[in-house]
Structure 1
Amino acid sequence: MDSDKYLEGQSMQRPPLFESDSFIYWKNRFETYVKSKDLDLWHVITNGDFQPIIQNPETKLDEVVPFEKQTDDLKRRLAKNNEAKMVIYNALPRKEYEQIFIQVKDNKIDLLVQQYEQFVISEDESIDSAFARFNTIITSLKALDEGYSSNNYVRKFLRALHPKWRAKVTTIEESKDLTSLSLDELIGNLKVHEMIIKKDSEIVKAKVKRKSLALKAKKESSDEECSTSGSENEEYAMAVKDFKKFFKRRGRFVGQPRNNKKTFQRSRYNKNGKSERKCFRCEDPNHFIGECPKPSRDKNQREFVGGSWSDNGEEDDEKSKMRHVL
């Protein structure tokens, strides 16, 4: 019997049969056999089945790919799942298989029940994607346990929806009998509402975009007007500046005071060309106070004629006035 097992394993047609009393020896032989056939098979045996899941490039979320949309490469990878199972089946005697299968089955049911209880739908996930994941869980549960059933699928799916669906969930709960509502009918209802939400969102985004473009155009127009106005003001200031320089060079700028010296000299003569100035002491128009033969009446006046003044502040003020008159 042992020689038959050895020959069976060495033939490379079938993996070595399981030996409970020499588990380590069998394990090493079995691992070597599988890896020599296909490394992908060993990956499936140690890490679990390949899943028909790809990442949505828009939402960055993993989504289950329906069979009709699976590529040939993905189908080849999924086929490795069944090949790995066949290798394990061929390596197990019937009794061992039954014991292991029952244990694996129970573990899978526990895992699926946990996935069912923890099932949630993210904010950006579509109803189709969420339903595909949910349906995989409940279908697998039914396949492993024929006696498993739940009438709570509808309520579970509603509770798993993101809070943004709260208003819709409340409407369904108030208007529908959840005990008689099928899961397919619920999904159809939610997909219609999802399309409405998507359309409303697109309308809002379009309005925001138009408003943003209008504000941008208005700002650009305002900046252009300010730039033009600033340029015109600058040109006007330069023109005024040049205008002032032009007339200043000719002494004819409006507002510029006339020659005070010429005006003062003209004011000293009357219409007949005679001087209107008089001697400060005797009021004789024919001479000035420096040539006046009449003696001064006081000391201060003599000091004034001599060109000297006292240090008194009041006398200094009087001297300033007298000079201004002359």
Structure 2
Amino acid sequence: MSISKPPFFDGNNYSHWKAKMTIFIQALDFNLWDIIIDGPELPHIISQEGIKTLKPRSSYTDDDRKKVQLNAKAKHVIICALNSNEFNRVSSCATAKEMWDRLEVTYEGTNQVKDAKINMLVREYEMFSMKENENISGMFVRFTNIINSLQSLNKCYTNSEMVRKILRCLPKSWMPKVTAIEEAKDLNTLALEELLGSLMTHEMTIKNHEDEEEQDKKKKKVIAFKSSTPDSSEDESDDEMALITRRFKKYLAKKKFGNKQFKKTFPSKSETKKEEIICFECNKPGHYKSECPRLKKAKDTIKKKKAMLATWSDSDESSSEEEEDQEIAQIALMAINDSDKDEDEDEEENEVSELLELLEKFSFENASLKKTVKSLNKENARLKIELECSSSKTLEDKTISLEKENEVLKVEIDALKKTFSKFSNSSDKLDRLLGLQRCVFNKARPRL
């Protein structure tokens, strides 16, 4: 836009155009602004009857021509800033003040409308606060829009009031900074722009600290993920289960290695006689290991413990870790049943029995914990029902008691009205009797 041209008004955002137009006219000639605000003193003549009329142009003096020329110049500045629709609105006005006032009434309304707008903007000013996840610059833009709208309606706040309002609208996380500013600065002399710069600097430091913390978290994410544990009891149980699985794997590896050597050195049935056969389980002659009674007893105990494992796995199907432990246990048990044992199998069976006892203990603990959870859920549901019932009962009791109290008060009011009517009638009767009495010194006979 050229500096010599006035700001153009197309019918939108009148308050913005008014502020720019005011500055333009004052910069052009301050006498023009006085004429627009106060009105021009056009030359006029007062007749003998006291009627004021405009002076004809033929009788203008030099001073009169200067006044008329200033009015025409002010009208010209206003007209050059309007479009065709706005020009038609003010073209019939004789003075620049009439044009300016007509535009104000059209777009700002009458005094009543201005008061309503001022009240609405003052309410926005009083309720103003910083929004969540809003930065300082965005908050200051909203605050400036409210202040400018109030200033266009001739409602202004002092600098100290605006500074205190900005400090009040900040959230709780900014309270240390607010107290520091209040103690270090004088709020009566602190400029609003200086306060804005201090708050923006503090916001930048906070953001830098947050970025550094996020980078540190990303670096330590893997380590933190490995070290994070939900509960110490769960860690102990996981360590025990891991120990059990490792021992099972070692046992299976030994069995596989032992089976290969055993198959190589195991003689066929056709080459040996039954009397020369020695059982590898009990080291007694006359029967094979598969026919050994001692091994049959061990198989029966293993079957019972397998049944226990099956019940334990059915009780907790949602846990993937327990399913893996169950599969390892079943594989180990199948390996025990299917494979032949060496001379050192007694020690290995003892280890297996110990592991199965541990699994049995865990299954019982899991079942007891599930029972406690179910009982707690039932108790929680029962307490919720009791709470709802008690709240509904108390409300009903309160309403009933209030209704009864209302009825009692109505009866009392009716009784008081009746007594009051009796007293009013008696006062009228007393006035009549007093009016019929005569003075003691009046000895005249009453007229009949």
TM-score normalised by L of structure 1: 0.44
TM-score by length of 2: 0.33
The structure carrying a bigger helix percent of its residues is 2
